[in-house]
Amino acid sequence: MKESNGKPVGLLNEDPSPESRHIVNYLQCIGDFCRRYRNLQDENTRSRENFAKIVLQPYLGTVPARTTLERCEQGSAATNWGTVASYIYEMGAFPDLIKVLSQGQAPTLRIMQLIQKQQKDALSESKHRATSSLNGSDEKERLVRALRK
């Protein structure tokens, strides 16, 4: 079914007011986060063309067109899922996204595998920081004692 303007009828084709909690506004918000992430890259990477070549090509296997990035950054519902997923992965947001989406559900084996790796890395990093902190404080105490003598 199509409206008189030729667009299919559906929520994703609506033009909601900016303050409404509408799916189009959420997509535009995600697109804006993608654009802001790209613009935070160094000057050699932040153009759409270079970001597509340097950052997104390894994920997609081909260099996406600048118009593809433009649609993604505008929050277009027609954006390829792979492009959006590549941005999300580059931003490091997948672990948090999975955590939010899986709330209230029994974890699947795949989620457990992903979380286990993440937890192992976080634990290792925490252990390293604690050890460094302890070693640093021992060194400081030794210096203070030497200065007092």
| pTM confidence score | 0.69
d(CA 67, CA 84) in angstroms, rounded, equals 14
* Of 102 and 79, more confident: 79
Q: What is the pLDDT of residues 86-117, one digit of tens each?
A: 999 999 998 889 888 888 888 788 877 777 77
Neighbours of 105 (CB within 10 A): 8
Task: Locate all alpha helices (DSSP H) within the chain, ordered by sequence.
Answer: 23-39, 48-51, 57-60, 66-74, 81-90, 94-101, 109-148
pLDDT digits 0-9 by tens, 26-48: 999 999 999 999 999 999 999 99
Q: Is the pLDDT of residue 61 over 90?
A: yes
Of 76, 41, 67, nearest to 84 (Cα)?
76
Asked which of 13-17, 81-85, 139-143 is least confident by mean pLDDT, the reply is: 139-143
Q: Within 10 Å of residue 38's Cβ, how many Cβ atoms?
A: 22
Residue from 49, 41, 92 nearest 70 by CA? 49
Query: Which tokens is 68 given?
Result: 């593809």
pLDDT at 138 (0 to 100): 60
Split at pLDDT 50, 70, 90, the class of 4 is: low
| Residue 56 near residue 88, CB atoms below 8 Å | no
